[in-house]
Amino acid sequence: NAGVTQTPKFQVLKTGQSMTLQCAQDMNHNSMYWYRQDPGMGLRLIYYSASEGTTDKGEVPNGYNVSRLNKREFSLRLESAAPSQTSVYFCASIRATGATIYEQYFGPGTRLTVT
Amino acid sequence: AQSVAQPEDQVNVAEGNPLTVKCTYSVSGNPYLFWYVQYPNRGLQFLLKYITGDNLVKGSYGFEAEFNKSQTSFHLKKPSALVSDSALYFCAVRETAVGNNRLAFGKGNQVVVIP
């Protein structure tokens, strides 16, 4: 299993440009999440998808959109990038079935710089 | 709302000495608690979790954590630190009543193990 994969690993954008961060998992997990990591602020949830066909806002959704393309893939789109969106973005997934409490699995991250 | 506090920015410890990374949480009901580790330029890796039962939880790489309900704490411990334990450590909490597996993360603690 590759686990959770993210593309690209690095990206530099100019202010106002758009891009899509891709995430895929091969563990047949139901729920997927997008986080951003900024120094001294931990991980903050941007959007999540509890199951295929549903998406919900997290803590910091402004400036982002998401698409749960199928059970495997969950993409994050920046329509008009701003310097405040310079961050490291992590995708995560979790099994989320039955009464068992599972842990989230994380991808390797995408380091985005907006100039 | 659920939240986690990791009061120290950095923990310095000599190799071979005990390591403790502190975490306190706030939830309205019973908590599910997690510890993750992040090595440089990598995603988060799961270390251990507390769901219910024994207050002392054992995890990966010789780490353990103690759940203390009266102090609302979940401190991570390792009896003898290794240089390779130098990394960023995150505590996270999920309320038992929350059905979407959303986690609230602390801001992280940088652990530096000195040879």
Min mean pLDDT across A62-66, B81-85, B93-97 is at B93-97
Nearest-Cα distance to chain B for A61, in Å, is 14
8 Å CB contact between B51 and B102: no
Question: With pLDDT > 70 as the criterion, what percentage of chain A qualifies?
Answer: 100
Is the per-residue pLDDT at A87 higher than 90? Answer: yes
Question: CA distances (Å), A26 to each of A3, A71, A107, B46, in order?
Answer: 6, 9, 12, 18
Taking alpha carbons only, the member of A2, A99, A10, A17 closest to residue A63 is A17
Contact between A75 and A23 under an 8 Å Cβ cutoff? The reply is yes
Helix H, strand E, coil C: the string for B7-57 is CCCEEEEECCCCEEECCEEECCCCEEEEEEEECCCCCEEEEEEECCCCCEE
Residue A99 has pLDDT above 80, yes or no: no
Predicted pLDDT at B41: 86
Question: DSSP labels for chain A?
Answer: ---EEEE-SEEEE-TT--EEEEEEESS--SEEEEEEEETTTEEEEEEEESSTT--EE-S--TTEEEEE-SSSBEEEEESS--GGG-EEEEEEEE---SS--PPPEE---EEEEE-
Residue B42's closest chain A neighbor by CA? A108
In terms of pLDDT, which residue wins out, B40 or A96? B40
User: Shortest CB distance from A42 goes to which of B34, B100, B105?
Assistant: B105
Contact (CB, 8 A) for A80 and A16: yes
What would the pLDDT profile of A28-60 be if each residue is shown by its tens digit?
999 999 999 998 889 999 999 988 999 999 999
Q: What residues of chain A have any CB closer than 8 angstroms to a CB in chain B?
A: 4, 31, 33, 35, 40-45, 48, 50, 56, 58, 90, 92, 94, 96, 101-109
Interchain contact, B105 vs A43, CB within 8 Å = yes
pLDDT tens-digit map of B14-39: 999 999 999 999 988 888 999 999 99
Position A79 confidence tier, pLDDT thresholds 50, 70, 90: very high
**Mean per-residue pLDDT for B82-96?**
92
- A90 contact residues in B (CB cutoff 8 A): 43-44
Interface A-B, measured as beta-carbon pairs within 8 A, has a size of 55
CB–CB of A45 and B102 under 8 A? yes
Q: Report pLDDT digits (tens) over B34-77.
A: 999 999 989 999 999 999 889 999 999 999 999 999 999 999 99
How much is the pLDDT for B97?
63
